[in-house]
Chains A and B, each alone.
Chain A
Amino acid sequence: MCPVSTTSPLTGAVAAELAAGRDRYNNLFLSARREHRRIDADAVLAHVRHRLPPAVEAVAAIEPAAVPKVMTTLYELSLELIGRELLGPQAQAPQLNLVFDQLLPAMPRLLAAAPAKLTSALVNAVHKLSQERGFVLPLWVDRLIEAAPGCPDVPTLLAMGQVFAWRGGLSHFREGALELMRQLPAEALGVALGLREGDPSPETCLTMLEGDPFWRPELARCPQTLRIVGKVGRFSGFGGEFRSPPTVMCVSGQLIALDERACWSIHADAYGARLRRIGPNLPDGEETPPPPGRSVDREGRVFWGRDQRAMPELAERSGVACSEQLMAVTLPSSHRIVLIALAPEPT
């Protein structure tokens, strides 16, 4: 069964390209069927009719010569995703349609320049971000669409996407995002950080971000207080990480949480807090003692050098571990880990 028919109701650049390359597109479908025996021809047709035109027509409007390359890339990508049942009637990842419906039509110039690179990166990113608990994917998509016209090339756009992912709450991406931002031109850096009028300069922001994980431009004028900056961890029976209330420790400066099954690294900064699975064993390295003057007492008073604050919910704490800029506290009857730091308090 061939998915591309001359009776297709398609019009415009997609229709013209399919007609011109009918045999080739049909052969691509046959080859895809070798790999994905159950690929649904109707699903491919429907996808081609409804999902490809926005991006292809946008490219045709600014760079008609790039249409065959873009069309082939999108067609092959569609075959792959439908063949793997990520898209189509049994779609396991329908959010990937965001790539076809919103992202690609908003960046025709970049799509024409490097279709394979851009599409595979965006599909991977959307898929990955959609699996992150609490991550607001539409916000990331909007930010990327907004940034695309100003991006000179695909690598810059992808670097922006990485920074947006970090700012969206993926705190474990912090170091990589900072590294990328150091390489961005000032204008792009400002866009990546979402700076507005009155905010410090991009360079200043970058310096501040590097120095303090809980600093962010919009909180630049807020006072620092000792406060809860995040809570991470849930019972595995409810889809969380831990089978039993976790233990926390600091190994070589990195906060670690563990139960009897696995170890997780704890990440928190101004944009969010996350746990990332390390594996069944503790990472190599020495256990780091807490910096002097940091503790939580039996009444739930948190001590951080000269600062202290009463947090009654921590009164029965079962464990405390500290890195330079973060404190992790566990409770005997909870799978949550409370994260405390000296951070600007939004007013």
Chain B
Amino acid sequence: MSIRSKLQHVSESPTRPTPGQASRRFDVAELYQGLLADPDAQPSAGEPLHEKLQRAYWWIVNKGIISPFYDIEYNDTPPQRFSFGDAKVQLTLPTDQSYSSYVLLPLLSLATRRRCLLVGGPGRGKTAIAVLMGVLAGYNLNELKRAIQHGQPQMTIADLLGNPLPSTLVNAKSMDEVQIAWRRWLGMRVKIIDEYNRIPTRTQSALLTVMADNYAELYDQIFECPPGAWYLTANDDAGGGTYQVIEALRDRIDVVVKALHFNSRYLDELLLRVEEGFKPEEVVPSQIIFTPEELDQMEREIRQVKLPDPLRRRLEFFTSHFELWEGGARQLEYMTKDTVKLSGLELRSFASASAGKDAAVDLGAQTRNGVSVRALMTTLIFVKGMAYFRGEKEVSFEDIRQMLPFVLHDKLVQEPDAPFFELGDNPALRSDRVSWLRELWDLSCKQFESFNLDQHDPVRDLGDELERGLEGLKEEEVRRRLAAIEGTLRELAKGRKLYGHLYDDLLRLKAMHQHYTNYLGWVLQCAQ
């Protein structure tokens, strides 16, 4: 095996064995397998795509880039922990296969065709990982390099999207006749926008259309972009830069990944790379390059991964904490942070709304907004993607716990003045958003368990009853259900504080009550 082919060697392990693998039959061919790979071996055609995705991940981690970080931790048994320093900083040794977010999230973005923002100081390899993703999607290096859109203050819409052909512009009698020379990158399945926060605001708007709706428009001409993954880079976590990034554009970014610092212990590796002019993107092995069909199939397979009901319920509960802003309205339905935001007022002017609530319980006080539908949809896709990557058919608790921070990183806006951040060692969570969001999820789950909602959730039970349909329901049964809803409301009203999760339950109960009330009216009308 040549050195080049060794660099291109894709390890058969460690991929993650999953249960249900058939017991193996012994084959004499095993005699020549083991230490060294067969130089004539071809990638197996029947290999599951999640395996290929894993192999791609491990190739990048082992051979491609220096990223010795395992911040996405999985444990199948309690891990060992070590404490350091006066502040008892903890280091955990994960007991199950764990991952580097810096490689995994871009890879999942490729598999799910989402938009990934890579943030971090200059020279941390943000563009390099984006280019690697492009190579994995089957593009050659020159094609990719030409297609990278480099944000700069003079970037025009024409620079970004294309130009009308001069001849057609002169001769056209109507806009329909103008022909556009579209930029090649628009037709690619991996789109890389370098330093997107250096693009002028006007051009950002054009970019927004492409990102949001997957088409470009110039002179009434439309270019439909193929579905694909986006990689945007920014040096500034806050999205600052030469130009403020328009909010709608930031909102279209699905995950945010930090390029972590360089670990000085790997300087020898860096030195070797310098000495040998090693460029990982030039030696990506063919076995881990995906065809467009494979990318499409993988996205379909990810959608098929199941989210178990109990976990879905926890996610619902988590989401419910954040939208309520009691002081923002008099009518229940409008008591949201969105109402305040639309009014142009500051949430702080209603600070008394959370007065008296337990800072550790009132998770909603830690944010300035709620979780949008788009953020929720992205969450669902990424938790499924995570489970798929690990070869699972169902999403696990840890999949959600690990993915949420990266999806909600820029979506759930922190309220740094919330009392919670004054407690214990919480001030650090003001800047460490990944840990903060994970902590939010953990706290939400603790509440969920303390309310015993897995076992006793009357609102869920009433909802399930309604979901079974109203057809054929007798008047007595409808009245019984209405009474049950009212009884549940009375029970909930005994609590002294209104928290976000309760708020969503109240609105749900009200909606159900309306369903039954309307149905009862119809039943009574029919009976007359």
Kindly state whether residue B275 has any CB partner on chain A within 8 Å. Answer: yes
Which of A12-20, A120-128, A207-215, A235-243 touches B? Answer: A120-128
User: Which residues of A are found within 8 Å of B269, using beta-carbon distances?
Assistant: 34
Question: Are A165 and B35 interface neighbours, CB within 8 A?
Answer: no
State how many residues of chain B have any CB contact under 8 Å with chain A.
29
Q: Say yes or no: A158-B23 contact (C-beta < 8 A), given A31-B3, A76-B2, A117-B39.
A: no
User: Which residues of A are found within 8 Å of B524, using beta-carbon distances?
Assistant: none
Looking at the assembled complex, report how far the CB atom of A239 sits from the nearest CB atom of chain B, in whole angstroms. Answer: 20
Give the docked Cα–Cα distance between A172 and B29 (Å): 12
Kindly state whether residue A51 has any CB partner on chain B within 8 Å. Answer: no
Give the docked Cα–Cα distance between A27 and B2 (Å): 12
User: Which residues of B are found within 8 Å of A279, using beta-carbon distances?
Assistant: 23
CB-CB contacts below 8 Å: B3-42 with A: 3, 6-7, 23-24, 26-40
Considering the complex, give the chain B residue whose CB is closest to the CB of A79.
B3
Question: Are B31 and A125 interface neighbours, CB within 8 A?
Answer: yes
CB-CB contacts below 8 Å: A142-188 with B: 158, 161-162, 165-166, 170, 172-173, 175-177, 179-180
User: Which residues of A are found within 8 Å of B272, using beta-carbon distances?
Assistant: 30, 33-34
Give the docked Cα–Cα distance between A278 and B23 (Å): 6
User: Which residues of B are found within 8 Å of A128, using beta-carbon distances?
Assistant: 30-31, 33-34
Give the docked Cα–Cα distance between A133 and B427 (Å): 61
User: Which residues of B are found within 8 Å of A117, using beta-carbon distances?
Assistant: 38-40
Contact partner of A158 (CB less than 8 A), chosen from B7, B26, B32, B34, is B32
Question: Are A120 and B31 interface neighbours, CB within 8 A?
Answer: no
Contact partner of B28 (CB less than 8 A), chosen from A28, A72, A173, is A173
Question: Are B23 and A31 interface neighbours, CB within 8 A?
Answer: no
Contact partner of B276 (CB less than 8 A), chosen from A34, A76, A81, is A34
Kindly state whether residue A129 has any CB partner on chain B within 8 Å. Answer: yes
Contact partner of A35 (CB less than 8 A), chosen from B6, B24, B35, is B6
Kindly state whether residue A77 has any CB partner on chain B within 8 Å. Answer: yes
Question: Are B3 and A173 interface neighbours, CB within 8 A?
Answer: no
Give the docked Cα–Cα distance between A345 and B3 (Å): 54
User: Which residues of A are found within 8 Å of B28, using beta-carbon distances?
Assistant: 162, 165-166, 170, 173, 175-177, 179-180
Question: Are A162 and B6 interface neighbours, CB within 8 A?
Answer: no
CB-CB contacts below 8 Å: B417-449 with A: none
Q: Say yes or no: A121-B29 contact (C-beta < 8 A), given A30-B276, A32-B3, A37-B268.
A: no
Proximity bits, A267-287, B CB within 8 Å = 1, else 0: 100000000101101011000
Give the docked Cα–Cα distance between A127 and B30 (Å): 12
Kindly state whether residue B1 has any CB partner on chain A within 8 Å. Answer: yes
Looking at the assembled complex, report how far the CB atom of A184 sits from the nearest CB atom of chain B, in whole angstroms. Answer: 13
User: Which residues of B are found within 8 Å of A80, using beta-carbon distances?
Assistant: 1, 6, 36
Considering the complex, give the chain B residue whose CB is closest to the CB of A125.
B31
Kindly state whether residue A10 has any CB partner on chain B within 8 Å. Answer: no
User: Which residues of A are found within 8 Å of B275, using beta-carbon distances?
Assistant: 30
Looking at the assembled complex, report how far the CB atom of A254 sits from the nearest CB atom of chain B, in whole angstroms. Answer: 10
Contact partner of A76 (CB less than 8 A), chosen from B3, B26, B29, B278, is B3
Question: Are A165 and B6 interface neighbours, CB within 8 A?
Answer: no
User: Which residues of B are found within 8 Å of A281, using beta-carbon distances?
Assistant: 23
Kindly state whether residue A113 has any CB partner on chain B within 8 Å. Answer: no
Proximity bits, A94-123, B CB within 8 Å = 1, else 0: 000000000000000000000011001101
Looking at the assembled complex, report how far the CB atom of A75 sits from the nearest CB atom of chain B, in whole angstroms. Answer: 10
Question: Are A121 and B32 interface neighbours, CB within 8 A?
Answer: yes
Q: Say yes or no: A162-B29 contact (C-beta < 8 A), given A28-B3, A31-B7, A32-B3.
A: yes
User: Which residues of B are found within 8 Å of A180, using beta-carbon distances?
Assistant: 28
Looking at the assembled complex, report how far the CB atom of A40 sits from the nearest CB atom of chain B, in whole angstroms. Answer: 16
Q: Which of B2, B3, B278: most chain A Cβ within 10 A?
A: B3
Kindly state whether residue A86 has any CB partner on chain B within 8 Å. Answer: yes
Contact partner of B36 (CB less than 8 A), chosen from A123, A176, A283, is A123
Looking at the assembled complex, report how far the CB atom of B277 sits from the nearest CB atom of chain A, in whole angstroms. Answer: 11
User: Which residues of B are found within 8 Å of A33, using beta-carbon distances?
Assistant: 272
User: Which residues of B are found within 8 Å of A267, using beta-carbon distances?
Assistant: 26
Question: Are B26 and A86 interface neighbours, CB within 8 A?
Answer: no
User: Which residues of B are found within 8 Å of A179, using beta-carbon distances?
Assistant: 28
Q: Say yes or no: A172-B36 contact (C-beta < 8 A), given A34-B269, A34-B276, A76-B1.
A: no
User: Which residues of A are found within 8 Å of B1, using beta-carbon distances?
Assistant: 76-77, 80, 116, 120
Give the docked Cα–Cα distance between A326 and B26 (Å): 18
Q: Which of B31, B272, B276: most chain A Cβ within 10 A?
A: B31
Looking at the assembled complex, report how far the CB atom of A165 sits from the nearest CB atom of chain B, in whole angstroms. Answer: 5
Contact partner of B31 (CB less than 8 A), chosen from A27, A77, A86, A124, is A124
Looking at the assembled complex, report how far the CB atom of A6 sits from the nearest CB atom of chain B, in whole angstroms. Answer: 21
Question: Are B39 and A116 interface neighbours, CB within 8 A?
Answer: yes
Question: Are B3 and A162 interface neighbours, CB within 8 A?
Answer: no
Looking at the assembled complex, report how far the CB atom of B155 sits from the nearest CB atom of chain A, in whole angstroms. Answer: 38
Give the docked Cα–Cα distance between A30 and B269 (Å): 11
Looking at the assembled complex, report how far the CB atom of A158 sits from the nearest CB atom of chain B, in whole angstroms. Answer: 6
Give the docked Cα–Cα distance between A278 and B22 (Å): 10
Question: Are A173 and B26 interface neighbours, CB within 8 A?
Answer: yes
Give the docked Cα–Cα distance between A320 and B80 (Å): 45
Give the docked Cα–Cα distance between A175 and B29 (Å): 11
Considering the complex, give the chain B residue whose CB is closest to the CB of A265.
B26
User: Which residues of A are found within 8 Å of B30, using beta-carbon distances?
Assistant: 128, 173
Looking at the assembled complex, report how far the CB atom of A271 sits from the nearest CB atom of chain B, in whole angstroms. Answer: 13
User: Which residues of A are found within 8 Å of B24, using beta-carbon distances?
Assistant: 278
Question: Are B40 and A165 interface neighbours, CB within 8 A?
Answer: no
Considering the complex, give the chain A residue whose CB is closest to the CB of B40.
A117
Looking at the assembled complex, report how far the CB atom of B1 sits from the nearest CB atom of chain A, in whole angstroms. Answer: 6
Question: Are A129 and B3 interface neighbours, CB within 8 A?
Answer: no
Contact partner of B27 (CB less than 8 A), chosen from A86, A176, A265, A278, is A176
Give the docked Cα–Cα distance between A27 and B3 (Å): 9
Question: Are A120 and B36 interface neighbours, CB within 8 A?
Answer: yes
Looking at the assembled complex, report how far the CB atom of B257 sits from the nearest CB atom of chain A, in whole angstroms. Answer: 26
Give the docked Cα–Cα distance between A172 and B28 (Å): 8
Give the docked Cα–Cα distance between A343 and B267 (Å): 65
Q: Say yes or no: A283-B23 contact (C-beta < 8 A), given A124-B32, A162-B29.
A: yes
Considering the complex, give the chain B residue whose CB is closest to the CB of A33.
B272
CB-CB contacts below 8 Å: A305-345 with B: none
Give the docked Cα–Cα distance between A84 and B6 (Å): 13
Q: Which of B6, B7, B35, B269: most chain A Cβ within 10 A?
A: B35
Looking at the assembled complex, report how far the CB atom of A71 sits from the nearest CB atom of chain B, in whole angstroms. Answer: 13
Question: Are A121 and B38 interface neighbours, CB within 8 A?
Answer: yes
Give the docked Cα–Cα distance between A265 and B38 (Å): 27
Give the docked Cα–Cα distance between A212 and B454 (Å): 61
Give the docked Cα–Cα distance between A49 and B2 (Å): 21
User: Which residues of A are found within 8 Å of B33, using beta-carbon distances?
Assistant: 124, 128
Known: A162-B28, A172-B26. 7 other contacts (CB 8 A): A30-B275, A117-B40, A128-B34, A176-B29, A179-B28, A265-B26, A278-B24
A-B pairs with beta carbons under 8 Å apart, 13 shown: A30-B276, A34-B269, A34-B273, A120-B32, A123-B35, A124-B33, A124-B34, A124-B35, A125-B32, A172-B26, A173-B30, A267-B26, A279-B23
Q: What residues make up the interface of A, taking CB atoms closer than 8 Å to B? A: 27-28, 30-35, 37, 72, 76-77, 80-81, 84, 86, 116-117, 120-121, 123-125, 127-129, 158, 161-162, 165-166, 170, 172-173, 175-177, 179-180, 265, 267, 276, 278-279, 281, 283-284
The 10 closest A-B pairs by CB, nearest first: A176-B28, A121-B32, A173-B28, A116-B39, A120-B36, A31-B3, A172-B26, A124-B34, A162-B28, A283-B23
